Amino acid sequence: MPVPTKILVATDLTARADRPFARAKLLADIWNATRTLLFVSSPKKEVDIAKVEAELLRNYGSDAEGCNLAINYGKPPQVIAHTAEQLDSDLIIVGAARHNNISDFFLGTAVDHLVHHAKSPVLIVKERPRAQYGRILVATDFSDFAAHALRTALAFFPDAKIDLVHAYHVAYEAWLKSDGVANEMLSDAEKELQDFMTGLNLSASDAARVSPHLVEGNLHQSVYKMLDDREFDLLVLGTHGRGGFVMATIGSRASEMMGWSPVDVLMVGKPD
């Protein structure tokens, strides 16, 4: 899987959208990728293209040079997904604004629609970019979709260290306090982890970058604690998993994890 060569950045062209714009610039420079800035407007409001271009240069300056500009009308999630497909974009980058109007992209139902309908991975930028992603946390449920998310992280960020975390649950732990049960569940999880890593068939260099972790209990609480230590730059989640839409592991709460994550989040959907 190659690094992205076409990046689509959803923006309202204002200064407050500087974080996704800056991250896109940093990644484009690293990957030698093209950037298309997408501005989505209400169908009831005709856009003055010259004014949009002037705002672009005023807010982003020389960093905007070389960007393509796309202007479309409609509801942002649908328009972003459709435009990305039209342009054959390898990555969609959006911000995490706390607003709820046509010019903003916000967490909630809008981002849910985008990440589950876009064919490209979606990067939600929360922090001000200061460097490349150096350490990445990938949550896994050992599904094929989780494997695809991990491979995507390895391909997109070839210099980053990756921590792979899986949470296993001790069945009926409130009633069964036997160490034997806990040890058996741990042994099963270790076997699954080993099979998962073997099935990935990673190169030696990629395998050396991945540090697997097994945690007992709740995956979401474990991920939150790991992110709260501020040692990671990026969280990677698959939007699908075991049983279709991940059920009790990741997918059913992927949007919630994306919402409370203090760091940027890369959402990776089904492989083609």
> What's the confidence (pLDDT) of residue 244?
36
> What's the confidence (pLDDT) of residue 118?
87
Domains of the chain: 6-125 (3.40.50.620), 135-268 (3.40.50.620)
pLDDT: which is higher, 42 or 250: 42
> Under 8 Å CB-to-CB from 187, ≥6 apart: which residues?
none
The DSSP output letter for 218 is -
Give percent above pLDDT 70 in the chain. Answer: 82
Mean pLDDT (whole number) for 211-236: 84
> What's the confidence (pLDDT) of residue 174?
46
Q: Model confidence at 184, in pLDDT bands (50, 70, 90)? A: confident
**Amino acid occupying residue 146:** A
CA distances to 47, 62, 64, 84, 120 from 67, rounded to whole Å, are 18, 10, 6, 15, 19
Q: What is the 3-state secondary structure (H, E, C) of 185-201?
A: HHHHHHHHHHHHHHHHC
> What's the confidence (pLDDT) of residue 153?
96
Residue 214 has pLDDT above 70, yes or no: yes
Residue 108 has pLDDT above 60, yes or no: no
Residue 235 has pLDDT above 80, yes or no: yes
Q: Model confidence at 99, in pLDDT bands (50, 70, 90)? A: very low
Q: Model confidence at 56, in pLDDT bands (50, 70, 90)? A: confident
pLDDT: which is higher, 164 or 14: 164
**Amino acid occupying residue 89:** S
Mean pLDDT (whole number) for 63-84: 89
Sheet order of strands, 68-73 included? 68-73, 34-41, 6-10, 91-95, 122-125, 264-268, 234-238, 135-139, 161-168, 210-216
Give percent above pLDDT 90 in the chain. Answer: 35
pLDDT: which is higher, 246 or 31: 31
Residue 222 three-state SS: helix
Residue 82 has pLDDT above 70, yes or no: yes
Q: Which residues of 138-148 are buried (b: 16+ CB within 10 A; e: fewer)?
A: bbbbbbebbbb
Q: Are 46 and 17 within 8 A, CB to CB?
A: no
In angstroms, the CA 151 to CA 35 distance is 23
Residue 51 has pLDDT above 90, yes or no: no
pLDDT in tens, 135-182: 999 988 888 888 999 999 999 999 999 999 887 666 555 445 566 666
Residue 233 three-state SS: coil
CA distances to 3, 8, 73, 85, 262 from 81, rounded to whole Å, are 20, 10, 13, 6, 25
Q: Are 226 and 163 within 8 A, CB to CB?
A: yes
